[in-house]
Amino acid sequence: MYLNANNISYAYKKNKPILKNLSISIPDNKVIGLMGDSGSGKSTLCKVISGYIKNYTGTVTLDNNLIETKDFYPIQLIFQHPEKTMNPKWKMHKVLSESWNPPQELMDTFGLKDNWLGRWPNELSGGELQRFSILRALNPKTKFIIADEISTMLDAVTQVQIWDALLDYCKQNKIGILAVSHDKELLEVIADDILLFNEINKL
Ligand SMILES: Nc1ncnc2c1ncn2[C@@H]1O[C@H](COP(=O)(O)OP(=O)(O)OP(=O)(O)O)[C@@H](O)[C@H]1O
Ligand SMILES: [Mg+2]
Domains of the chain: 2-200 (3.40.50.300)
Residue 92 to residues 31, 55, 172, Cα–Cα distance (Å)? 29, 32, 26
CB of 65 sitting under 6 A from ligand 1: no
pLDDT digits (tens, 9 = 90+) for 46-100: 999 999 999 999 999 999 999 987 788 999 999 999 999 999 999 999 999 999 9
Whether pTM exceeds 0.95 = yes
Q: Confidence class of residue 172 from pLDDT cuts 50, 70 and 90?
A: very high
CB of 16 sitting under 6 A from ligand 1: no
* Closest C-alpha to 21, from 51, 70, 58: 58
CB 105 within 8 A of CB 133: no
Percent of the chain exceeding pLDDT 70 equals 100
- Rounded to the nearest whole angstrom, what is the distance from the C-alpha of residue 42 to the centroid of ligand 2? 5
Give nearest CA residue, ligand 1 atom 26: 38
CB of 180 sitting under 6 A from ligand 1: no
